[in-house]
Structures are given as C-alpha cells and as structure tokens.
C-alpha cells in the first residue's frame, strides 16, 4: 500500500483570509451549493488584497457586555476591600491597575506602567501596546482608571476602563492584525485634573506625538439614565461613532457637558485628533432627550456622579453594551487602513 498524506486544510494566512473564507462558506450554504450539487456554480474565491484594492474592513466582534460587567464587579470588589474607593494615592487605585495589567499581560499585550507624583502621592498610568502594525501610525484608546475618594467609581470611570479593557482583550482573541499600531491606556489622577494623561503627553517627544493619528477617550459610558453623546472635536472620528449609532437606530447628540473635562483634553492641547463617547454626568435629562432615549426627564444622567452610590447598581446595561460595541467598531475601523 502506498502511504498517503492525510488531507489537512491549508493554514489560513491571515484573519482577513479566514473571515473571507468563512463568509464564502456561509454564502455557499445559504445559496445551497455547500453539497456541490452537479452543475452548481461555485462561489468565487476571494481575491487577495493589494495596495490598490485593500481588504474590506473586517467587522468588529460584538463585545459581550457580560464580560464588561465582570470587570466592573472586580473593580467594585477592589474598592470594597480598600476603604470603598479606587482614588489616586489610595490602595484601591493600584489594585485596579494590577487587575487590568494582569488581564492584558495574559492576553499578549506589552504593558508598561508610568509613574508620576501628584498631590504628594505616587500615581500610575498603564499603557498596553498590541504588537504589530505601522509604528509610525498609532491609534490610541484610553480611559481614566481612578475614582474620586467618595465612592467606588463604577460608572465614573469603571465603565470606560472596563469597556476599553474588554475591547483590547477582543483584539487579542481575534488575533487582529491592524494596519495601524494599537495602543491602549488607563490614566491615573484624572479626578485631580487630568494629571496622568497630561504627564503621558508631556513626556512624549514631539516625534512620538506626531505618530499618534488619533486618541479615543471613554469616560462614563454606562450612566443609569443615559444619553448618547459623541465628542465633536474631530469630524472624522466623530463620524465613525455617529454613523455606528445611526445604523443601530440610536439618536446621538454632541457632547457639551464638559468641554475639556476629561483626558482627551490632554491630547487635544498637544494638537492630536480626539474623539470619544459619554452618557452624561450630573446634568439633567430634558424631556426631549427622554423622548428620544427613554429614561427619566428632570433627573440627572447620573444621580450618583462622584458619590458613594456609584456602585455596580449605577449602570445601565444597554448603554454599557452599545458603547462597548461602538468602541470596538471604532478601533477596528480606524486601525484597518
């Protein structure tokens, strides 16, 4: 008997190729050619991407909101175990950073911790780079990880921290090979006046700053009486979010509650394009807003803003889910080419 090589499928060359192949297989099933009936027309093989005809942008995965909520539950436990907060200079902050860092290290990110001093205490930023992509074209995504001292900071800003973390973990799960380089960051001492992010930007040499094609900021994305606010600082970045929400049938408004009140201001001040999402803080939802978004008119978007009741009960799951999915969509779209 001649020895035979057992048939094995060829290794897929890239996640793009795998997705395209999967799409063709699904299409073949849908049109009934999967069984290769005699005379059936085979679905055409996908053409390889070239510079002139780049690959279609792969769709971002759905971010499981349960995973985002699991991170929030961990941050809540860390606050509870550390005097009820995760504030700059308090043990709950460093415990939060260690939690996020361990998840990223296990997923294959290259992490680094940047130290600074503020208010007489040591503060920390966490930066996580996804290996690969064009080192001269960096898309950054970030959220502040510190709370105020008065509470656990679950909506402000466990929500943004956890949504960005789960997006980074999705990048790893999918084995994303973006054209741009992806960098994620969790900032310290935002609540003391954007201190961590300003330290990071100030420490970057001019040549390094100019490689950052955009910075996306997520601060409060699960407010219990939510609005859907998109930063309007940069039209291209704004459009990515606006179009995504419009396609889901969710109305958006321009973010106006806090011009310069979060870490994107540190980047904008250095001339870097910024974008982001926000579901509202202490401002009151109007009746027009309640009509388009539901929720309660005449009540704050977040009645527990900067208070001890900003716990895991202070989250609207639908807002957290939509914003998490929108973050992933933006990261995938903006890094693809």
Residues that bind ligand TRP (CB under 6 A): 156, 190-191, 219-220, 255, 257-258, 261-262, 278, 281
Shortest CB 328 distance to Ca ion, Å: 8
SS3 call for 59 = coil
Widest distance between CA atoms in the chain:
83
Cα–Cα distance for residue pair 166/71, rounded to 1 Å: 8
Q: For the CB of residue 283, give the shortest distance to ligand TRP in the complex, in Å.
A: 8
The answer to whether residue 325 forms part of the interface with Ca ion (CB under 5 A) is yes
* CB-nearer residue toward Ca ion: 63 or 104: 63
* C-alpha dihedral sign at 243, 244, 246, 251: negative
Binding Ca ion (rule: CB under 5 A), the pick from 321, 326, 327, 333 is 321
Q: CA–CA distance from 92 to each of 71, 105, 242 (Å)?
A: 14, 20, 35
Q: Which of 329, 126, 153 is closest to 237 using CA atoms?
A: 329
- State which residue has the least CB distance to ligand TRP: 258
Q: 46-56 as b/e, with b when 16 or more CB fall inside 10 Å? A: eeeeeeeeebe
Among ligand TRP, Ca ion, Zn ion, none, partner that 146 touches (CB below 5 to 8 angstroms by kind): none
What contacts 195, CB < 8 A, 6 or more positions away? 88, 116, 118, 123, 188, 189
Q: In the chain, helix, strand, coil percent, each to 5?
A: 40, 15, 45
Site for Ca ion in 42-81 (CB under 5 A): 62-63, 65
Residues that bind Zn ion (CB under 5 A): 156-157, 219
Binding partner of residue 325 among Zn ion, Ca ion, ligand TRP, none, CB cut-off 5 to 8 Å per kind: Ca ion
Query: Among this protein's residues, is 257 annotated catalytic?
Result: no
Please count the residues of this chain forming the interface with Ca ion, following the rule CB under 5 A.
Answer: 5
Given the complex with Ca ion, which of 310 and 321 has the nearer CB atom? 321
CB of 291 to ligand TRP, least distance (A): 22
Q: Report, in Å, the least distance between residue 133 CB and Ca ion.
A: 24
Nearer to ligand TRP, 174 or 257 (CB): 257
Q: Which does 257 bind (CB under 5 to 8 A by kind): Ca ion, Zn ion, ligand TRP, none?
A: ligand TRP
Closest approach, Cβ 249 to Zn ion, in A, equals: 28
Nearer to ligand TRP, 144 or 183 (CB): 144
Catalytic residue among 190, 191, 238, 255: 190
CA distance 203 to 326: 30
Q: Which is nearer to Zn ion, 156 or 233 (CB)?
A: 156
Closer by beta carbon to Ca ion, 68 or else 272 = 68
Smallest gap from residue 90 Cβ to ligand TRP (A): 16
DSSP string, 213-270: EEEEEES----SS---EE--SSHHHHHHHHHHHHHTT---EE--TTTT-STHHHHHTT
Is 179 in contact with 336 (CB distance < 8 Å)?
yes
Query: What is the full DSSP assignment across 164-187?
Result: HHHHHHHHHHHT---SEEEEEEEE
Residue 302: which of Ca ion, ligand TRP, Zn ion, none does it interact with, CB under 5 to 8 A by kind? none
User: Interface with Ca ion includes 230 (CB under 5 A)?
Assistant: no
Which 3 state secondary structure label does DSSP give 127?
Answer: strand
Binding site for Ca ion (CB under 5 A): 62-63, 65, 321, 325
Known catalytic residues are 190
């Amino acid at each position: 008997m001649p020895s035979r090589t057992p048939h094995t499928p060829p290794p897929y060359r890239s996640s793009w190729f795998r997705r395209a192949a999967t799409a063709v297989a699904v299409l073949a099933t849908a049109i009934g050619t999967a069984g290769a009936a005699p005379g059936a027309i085979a679905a055409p093989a996908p053409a390889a991407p070239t510079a002139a005809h780049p690959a279609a942008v792969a769709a971002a995965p759905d971010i499981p909101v349960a995973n985002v909520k699991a991170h929030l539950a961990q941050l809540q436990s860390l606050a509870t175990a550390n005097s009820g907060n995760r504030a700059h200079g308090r043990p709950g902050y460093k415990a939060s950073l260690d939690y996020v860092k361990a998840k990223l290290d296990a997923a294959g990110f290259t992490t680094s911790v940047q130290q600074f001093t503020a208010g007489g205490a040591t503060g920390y930023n966490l930066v996580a780079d996804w290996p690969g992509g064009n080192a001269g074209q960096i898309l950054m995504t970030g959220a502040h990880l510190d709370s105020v001292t008065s509470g656990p900071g679950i909506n402000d800003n466990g929500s943004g921290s956890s949504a960005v973390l789960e997006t980074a973990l999705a990048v790893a799960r999918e084995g994303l090979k973006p054209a741009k380089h992806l960098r994620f960051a969790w900032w310290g001492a935002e609540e003391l006046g954007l201190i961590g992010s300003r330290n990071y930007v100030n420490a970057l040499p001019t040549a390094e700053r100019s490689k950052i094609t955009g910075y996306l900021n997520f601060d409060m994305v699960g407010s219990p009486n939510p609005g859907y606010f998109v930063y309007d600082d940069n039209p291209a970045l704004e459009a990515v979010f606006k179009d995504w929400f419009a396609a889901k049938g969710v109305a958006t408004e321009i973010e106006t509650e806090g011009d310069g009140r979060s870490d994107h201001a540190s980047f904008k001040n250095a001339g870097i394009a910024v974008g982001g999402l926000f579901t509202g803080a202490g401002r009151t939802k109007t009746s027009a807003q309640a009509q388009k978004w539901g929720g309660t008119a005449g009540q704050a978007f977040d009645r527990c803003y900067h208070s001890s009741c900003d716990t895991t009960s202070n989250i609207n799951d639908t807002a957290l889910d939509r914003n998490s999915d929108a973050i992933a969509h933006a990261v995938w779209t903006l890094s693809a080419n």
